[in-house]
Amino acid sequence: MDHADDTSPMLARVRKLLAKAEDPAATSAEAETYTAKAAALMAAHGIDRALLALADPSLDVVGDLVIVVDKPYAADKADLLGTVASALGCRGVRRTRYPDGEKELSLHLFGHRSDLQRVEILFTSLLVQALHSLARTPVPSYDHPAAFRRSWLAGYTASIGRRLVRLEEAAAERAGDRFARRGTSSALVLADRSHAVEAARDDAYPHLQQGTPRRLSGTGAQDGWSAGQRADLGDGRLGGGRRSLPGG
């Protein structure tokens, strides 16, 4: 992936904020604040790049990126990556390879250059934060550790996904006047960008099949959901307490 934006002062601020959030010495409240600021900056950056690309599409072309997810819990980490990617305007294809006879799980992501960069930065930080939080969460005596942790990560992923979608929608809504001055709307521009990304994915994988949903038996989903809620992503509810899972 082209990293032409790596010298952006805004992205430098984002990386510094996320590094502070990832620090094991940071309190939960501090991590929430750092992550909220970083995610809000990144949402605004995505809108800025979409606006710039209206005048010159070459400034934010559709590209692709392969990210390998490591063991343990590779499938659960891949779920988090796919959820972050989808919320930030990208699409992913899960791939299983066997280099040197060892199973390797990866996601082949398609998206505009700026969105792929946002996904890579945010996923890396959220995964670090999730693993720190999971390590501090006791496994109930009645549950199997691996099953509990997989369900915890599923709850965390669902929570983060919902928050990110809301954050992206809010950023687009705030920029409505800026798109209107260009004779269009954020909804139309983002729909066009989404279609371009899906076309790139479908060109690379014309015979994709829908994966089978995973069934998890552990009891950690609620704790994981709550951890995802505490990792506030800029919607104004820092330290937002425990909430029920959808349908719960």
Contact 151, 217 (CB under 8 A): yes
User: What residues form DSSP beta bridges with 94?
Assistant: 107
| pLDDT tens for each residue of 139-158 | 888 888 888 888 899 889 98
Distance (Å, rounded) from C-alpha 86 to C-alpha 92? 8
Q: Is residue 138 exposed (0-12), middle (13-18) or buried (19+ Cβ within 10 Å)?
A: exposed
49-53, 101-105, 176-180, 221-225: the lowest-pLDDT one:
221-225
Range of the domain at 118: 4-205+216-230
Domain assignment of residue 211, yes or no: no
Domain assignment of residue 235, yes or no: no
Contact 73, 159 (CB under 8 A): no
Distance (Å, rounded) from C-alpha 65 to C-alpha 200? 12
Q: Residues with Cβ < 8 Å from 22, sequence gap 6 or more? A: 31, 125, 128, 129, 132
- The number of folded domains in the chain is 1
Domain assignment of residue 236, yes or no: no
pTM of the complete model: 0.82
Rg (CA), the chain: 18
Domain assignment of residue 243, yes or no: no
| pLDDT tens for each residue of 156-209 | 998 888 888 988 999 999 999 999 999 999 999 999 999 999 999 999 999 887
232 pLDDT tier (thresholds 50, 70, 90): very low
Domain assignment of residue 63, yes or no: yes
Highest mean pLDDT among 3-17, 28-42, 85-99: 85-99
Strands (E), the chain: 62-69, 91-97, 104-112
Domain assignment of residue 237, yes or no: no
Domain assignment of residue 241, yes or no: no
Distance (Å, rounded) from C-alpha 186 to C-alpha 82? 23
The pLDDT of residue 64 is above 80: yes
Distance (Å, rounded) from C-alpha 109 to C-alpha 233? 22
Domain assignment of residue 246, yes or no: no
Contact 130, 156 (CB under 8 A): yes
pLDDT at 226: 62
Contact 60, 113 (CB under 8 A): yes
